[in-house]
Amino acid sequence: MKIPSYSSIPIEVFLKEAGESLLPWFKRGEEMLGLKRYPLKKLAREVARLSEALIRGRAGAYMEEEWALRAYFAFYFPQGYLRTYFVLREMGGLLEEDFSVSTINDLGSGPGASLLAARDAFPRATLKGFERSGRAARFAEELGNLPVLKADFTRANIRGDVALAVSSLSEVGEVLKVVRRLWRTHRCLVVIEPGWSRGYSMIMELSRELGPPILPCGGYRCRLGRGDWCHGALPFRLPDLTLRLNSLLRHKLRFLKFTYGVFCRDSSLSGWGVRLRSPLIEEKGKSYYLACSQGRPIRLEFLRRSWKSIPRAFCCDLVRFRGQEVSPGTFRVEEFRVITSEVLKEDQD
């Protein structure tokens, strides 16, 4: 998904709420780790070091060390929280009628970002985290009174409704072996990875093993994934410390980019529509969105003379439309609804 230089955001209230939900946890963690007094340039060097380990899928080995916990919390904790919050809220809103979530198991929960997001997204669910690092597990427990067990999720006997894996399966050697076992004992598997090729390739592999994910786009033969692996690119507001660190890093975040797959047994979103991959693009006489339909790139076109007010949607929104295909892959839109925004707004109300 090409990252837009701007976006019209109908879910801006949701994005603001997500940042506000994160902020109290981040402020508490800052105090626990003494980050306000820690030298920023030194912290940036530690973040860069940890980033290299994450890319190689070896960050877990460092989480017993104080510098790694500090770097992870300062830079990656907010990203993990916000990615998880978005995906779980979208999943919950779209599946609310036929999928009741009572238990969520967070696999490789680290310092607790994804587990906190799960608690905020599903406040009635019973949560349990599994983390190999005793230091990270103790931090999560102290940060938010989170139920994190010091255990290797690849070996533990785990059962529940949802198995949540945020940046954790990428550190597993035999992914399919672990996933097959989790799939037998859970109704739903949620995999969230940073926006890079390894995470995208993993989700494509899981799609071939488990069947197409219900989210983000419901298809696994995706022709849009070559060289561009993001299914989400969201302008969430990150904490000030994370933004200051970002300004010192070589590869800077412009958007919060991630790839994800939500696999649910006996659930389908067929007919819900397509996933937008651009903001509204305006040209003389017409406007259009670029979208993905079951891995097929399409264009949703509006003629100015027939639309007084074109519905505004956000890159990554799920939308439903009706229209005529006027040329291969180009549809002249007659009706248009933003499904994601509707369910998230209803969830807030």
Query: 298 and 198 in one domain?
Result: no
pLDDT confidence band for 6 (50 / 70 / 90): very low
The tokens describing 188, both together, are 């739903």
Residue partners of 107: CB distance under 8 A and separation at least 6:
130, 153, 158, 163, 164, 165, 168, 169, 182
Name the residue range of residue 229's domain: 12-264
Query: 157 and 292 in one domain?
Result: no
Range of 49-58, 202-211, 304-313 with top mean pLDDT: 202-211
91, pLDDT greater than 80:
yes
Query: 280 and 258 in one domain?
Result: no
Indicate whether 18 belongs to any domain: yes
The tokens describing 327, both together, are 């040329």
DSSP 148-172: EEE--TTTS---EEEEEEES-GGG-
Indicate whether 326 belongs to any domain: yes
DSSP 26: H
pLDDT at 342: 64
Range of 2-11, 78-87, 272-281 with top mean pLDDT: 78-87
Last residue of a domain, one of 264, 285, 309: 264
CATH of the domain at 163: 3.40.50.150
Query: 158 and 55 in one domain?
Result: yes
Provide the domain count of the chain: 2
Query: 203 and 332 in one domain?
Result: no
Indicate whether 7 belongs to any domain: no
Query: 244 and 280 in one domain?
Result: no
Q: Are strands 126-131 and 148-150 parallel, antiparallel or unpaired?
A: parallel
8, pLDDT greater than 50:
no
Query: 219 and 98 in one domain?
Result: yes
pLDDT 10s digits, 101-158: 889 999 999 999 999 999 999 999 999 999 999 999 999 999 999 999 999 999 889 9
Query: 286 and 224 in one domain?
Result: no
Task: Specify the DSSP element, H or E, that contains 208.
Answer: helix 197-210
Q: The whole model's pTM is what?
A: 0.85
Indicate whether 4 belongs to any domain: no
Query: 114 and 89 in one domain?
Result: yes
Query: 298 and 246 in one domain?
Result: no
SS3 266: coil
pLDDT confidence band for 278 (50 / 70 / 90): confident
Q: Are 329 and 319 in contact (CB under 8 A)?
A: no
The tokens describing 63, both together, are 């989480």
* Separation between Cα atoms, residue 329 and residue 337, nearest integer Å: 19
Q: Is 322 exposed, middle or buried (0-12, 13-18, 19+ CB in 10 A)?
A: exposed
